Amino acid sequence: MSSSSSQTSYKLYYFNAYGRAEVLRFLFHLAEVEYEDVRIEFADWTKTKQEMGFKQVPVLEVDGKRLTQSLAITRYLAREFGLYGKDNWECALIDSFVDNCQEIIEQAIVIIKTFEPEQRKKEIEKLQADVPKEFEELEKLVGDNNYFIGDQITVADLFFYNTVSIVSQFASNFLQTCPKLEALRSKVEAHPRVADWLQKRPATSYTG
């Protein structure tokens, strides 16, 4: 963990939802770094988005400076908190794993944003057909210690856990043929700081 983290002021802006910001909240909680969790109500978004870079969230404010784009924020915090790789090669492997998970999330986001019933049904069926194959590929990348890299949790493991949470809204049993990924999911969920956040985080009816 960065020795300067406790001296830095952090604000995280996102909806009152899990979605693209939840892995960022996991990172703060795992690193035991204080931050202001600014949750924007959807009814206020039309007005609030004018204040946000690229008119989107999440936005991370660090000592008054703002950073946009969820993956950029994820990587920045992982580096700051010592939850990235130990060298450039490990960081690149983590980036690859996270980017693959992000592609899976994007399929789920299409469903979340689709309101026409028949089209939504088609998108869900497509996700349910694609996801098992995607996770079988990720299964090949998991290390022997039930973490993606080495014997310590990293941002890759947190990002994977959040991906599973999002996809689980629309598909089930997709880890049946992926024992390493199922073990990884269980290990992340059982991590004391992750379990603590899962227990105390604010409830929301919108998870996307």
Q: What is the pLDDT of residues 41-90, one digit of tens each?
A: 988 999 898 889 888 999 999 999 999 999 999 999 999 999 999 999 99
Per-residue pLDDT, averaged over 88-116, amounts to 94
| Greatest mean pLDDT range, 13-22, 140-149, 198-207 | 13-22
Does pTM top 0.85 for this prediction?
A: yes
What is the helix (H) or strand (E) element at residue 187, kind and residue range? Answer: helix 179-190
Question: What is the distance between the alpha carbons of residues 144 and 18, in angstroms, rounded to a whole number?
Answer: 30
Q: Give the pLDDT of residue 60.
A: 98
Instruction: Give the residues across from 95 on adjacent strands.
Output: none
Q: Which residue has the tokens 């022997």?
A: 144
For the domain covering 5-82+195-200, report its CATH number: 3.40.30.10
Share of the chain above pLDDT 90, in %: 83
Q: What is the pLDDT of residues 85-94, one digit of tens each?
A: 999 999 999 9
| Integer-rounded Cα radius of gyration of the chain | 17
Residue 196 has pLDDT above 50, yes or no: yes
Domain with CATH 3.40.30.10 in the chain: 5-82+195-200
Query: Band of the pLDDT at 145, cuts 50, 70, 90?
Result: confident
For the domain covering 88-191, report its CATH number: 1.20.1050.10
DSSP three-state, residue 106: helix
CA torsion, points 46, 52, 54, 58, in degrees to nearest 10?
-100
Domain with CATH 1.20.1050.10 in the chain: 88-191
